Amino acid sequence: MQRLAFRGFARQVAHVRGKDTRGVTVRMMDRLLKTSWRLQHGPAVFAVAFVLGLMPESDVDERSKARGQSVAVVGELPTAAGGSQTVPFLPPDCRCRPGTLFQWSSAPNVTGGPDLSAPLVTDRPDFTEASVTVGLGVTQLEMGYTYAYDTDELTASHSYGEPLLRQGIFADWLELRVALFPTQEWERDGDVRDRHAGTEDMYFGFKVALTPQAGWLPEMALIPQLNLPTGSRAFSSETVEPGLNWVYGWEVSDFISTGGSSQANRRVDDAEHTYLEIAQSWTVGYSLTDRLGAFTECFALFPSGADVALPEYYFDCGFTYLINDNIQYDVRYGVGLNDAAVDYFVGTGLSVRFL
């Protein structure tokens, strides 16, 4: 039986979003600094930190704090040569957290990561994952339904629920990911029509936000992932399938964004031989209004070392609609571009963020 390669279709991104950065700049009074400097550097720093600790909450950029990003507070200290040096300080109660694991060396002041004051960013409905995590302590549930049909194999499948749970853990740049897809498939062989129902293998992984976007340098994330052989007999590979997904994206303007993903995953073909599957995608997202978005995308699956699996090429497109900042509805449609690919697929879904 030829199985449909739709395990990854529901773990998708609606569109790639870059993130803006903000900070607050505060100048220290020369009298305080010069007086403290005479008492040595340590007391000066302590005095500045004390004053900043007494600053009202309104003086700190709430949007930056909601993102968990660095709040840049700077003052000027006199140097031994009689000049002054700008140095950073952080208030004692600052809740600053890095949104990405690394920063670009050419743009050390550019920060990124999840923006909890902005609408949610989802991994569905297209094939390319989002390049940003959900944020520390945030839970995001993405659900959907997909129907796929292939004339050559005379098969049709329904993927119900498609739940992907994303949970921010330990830091803003780290996310736990778990998915399990209930599936029903019909296969026709002459006048005989077989039906199979059950679940696919459980998906488990982590998303690590690597870098923010800095001009032409992309926002990037890395997703180590694997499928565990927990599925029903008709849909399970009966072996662990590890893989790695590299995601990258750019916000080109307020209207358009783009990005892609490069994956390498272990797979098992119908002859029960393992092989390496390379997956490549590229997507373009469009912000049509504040609530309505769209995307177009191409992606392909390339088997390496498989006995019977062949390359598959696809094009898909769709729309997303923000019901509010924490709930998004989506629809999509895709077609296969070669004989090995399924003829078409159509789906819809709902994503909810819990802060």
Q: What is the CATH number for 310?
A: 2.40.160.40
Report the distance separating Cα 85 and Cα 81, nearest Å. Answer: 11
Specify the pLDDT at position 187. Answer: 87
Phi, psi at residue 103, to the nearest 5°? Answer: -125, 150
Q: Provide the phi-psi class of 265: left if phi over 0, else alpha when psi is between -120 and 50, else beta.
A: beta
Q: State pTM to two decimals.
A: 0.75
pLDDT, tens digit, 9 for 90 and up, residues 290-335: 999 999 999 999 999 998 899 999 999 999 999 999 999 999 999 9
Which of 63, 89, 115 is a domain's end point? 89
4, 95 in Cβ contact below 8 A? Answer: no
Phi, psi at residue 283, to the nearest 5°? Answer: -130, 150
Do the domain assignments include residue 169? yes
Do the domain assignments include residue 3? no
Phi, psi at residue 156, to the nearest 5°? Answer: -135, 140
Report the distance separating Cα 337 and Cα 109, nearest Å. Answer: 44
- Cβ neighbors of 120 (< 8 A, separation 6 or more) are 134, 140, 325, 326, 327, 328, 351, 353
Question: Domain check: are 149 and 281 in the same one?
Answer: yes
pLDDT, tens digit, 9 for 90 and up, residues 184-195: 999 887 777 789
Specify the pLDDT at position 97. Answer: 74
Do the domain assignments include residue 114? no
Do the domain assignments include residue 122? no
Question: Domain check: are 180 and 264 in the same one?
Answer: yes
Which of 69, 89, 109 is a domain's end point? 89
Question: Domain check: are 69 and 149 in the same one?
Answer: no
Do the domain assignments include residue 121? no
Taking the CB of residue 293, how many other CB atoms lie within 10 A of it? Answer: 22
Report the distance separating Cα 203 and Cα 110, nearest Å. Answer: 33
Give the pLDDT of the chain (355 residues) as one tens digit per residue.
333 333 344 333 333 333 333 333 333 334 433 433 333 344 433 333 333 333 333 333 444 444 444 444 444 444 444 555 444 444 444 446 789 999 999 999 999 999 999 999 999 999 999 999 999 999 999 999 999 999 887 899 999 999 999 999 999 999 999 999 999 999 887 777 789 999 999 999 999 999 999 999 999 999 999 999 999 999 999 999 999 999 999 999 999 999 999 999 999 988 889 999 999 999 999 999 999 999 999 999 999 999 889 999 999 999 999 999 999 999 999 999 999 999 999 999 999 999 9
Q: State the DSSP code for 120.
A: P
Which of 57, 89, 121 is a domain's end point? 89
Report the distance separating Cα 14 and Cα 331, nearest Å. Answer: 10
Question: Domain check: are 75 and 203 in the same one?
Answer: no
Question: Domain check: are 83 and 143 in the same one?
Answer: no
Question: Domain check: are 266 and 174 in the same one?
Answer: yes
Question: Domain check: are 224 and 309 in the same one?
Answer: yes
Specify the pLDDT at position 19. Answer: 37
Question: What is the domain count for the chain?
Answer: 2
Question: Domain check: are 158 and 271 in the same one?
Answer: yes
- Cβ neighbors of 21 (< 8 A, separation 6 or more) are 64, 69, 109, 110, 111, 112, 212
Question: Domain check: are 293 and 186 in the same one?
Answer: yes
Q: H-helix or E-strand containing 35?
A: helix 30-38
Question: Domain check: are 74 and 169 in the same one?
Answer: no
Residue numbers of the domain that contains 53: 30-89
